[in-house]
Amino acid sequence: MITENLIKLFARDLQKLKEEIFLYTDEEKIWAVKDGISNSAGNLCLHLCGNLQHYIGAVMGESGYIRNREAEFKLKNIVRAKLIEEIDATIAVVTDTLEQVSKKELEKDYPLHVFGEPINTEYFLLHLAGHFNYHLGQINYHRRLI
């Protein structure tokens, strides 16, 4: 079933996010921005974790997570260990939630109208995977640029 593959993909990509965060030789550079760069790797990391914990954990899994999207982009200088904790928490909630999703639930409309209209849950989960990888690529580029 597709959820098994999504669990593997999200786990793989969240592990890659951890690797990227660990590859910064200077922890302060995780939060650096320069001309032409809107977001630091730290803020993108918080955004990715918040996005998955909200849309998969809270909405689908009723985890109780309360998202503060604005903070994902405003918080600064959070220690690397805390970012890693957020990534690990995200891996756990995504895995736990998707393990409970049935084929029937995938075929239903996603509970929120994220794009202003109903969308299929399976489609939205695939969108989340694509969104994650877009920002993961930005973090990789940010690390090499900074």
In the predicted model, what is the mean pLDDT of residues 76-86? 98
Three-state DSSP class for residue 7 = helix
Decide if pLDDT at 114 tops 80.
Answer: yes
Decide if pLDDT at 1 tops 80.
Answer: no
| Sign of the alpha-carbon torsion through 5, 115, 16, 59 | negative
Element (H, E) at 119: none
Mean pLDDT score of the chain: 97
- Total domain count, the chain: 1
Check which CATH number belongs to the domain holding 60 and give it.
1.20.120.450
pTM of the model: 0.96
Percent of the residues in the chain that have a pLDDT greater than 90, as a whole number: 95
Decide if pLDDT at 100 tops 80.
Answer: yes
What does the pLDDT read at residue 80?
Answer: 98
What residue numbers bound the domain in which 42 lies?
2-145
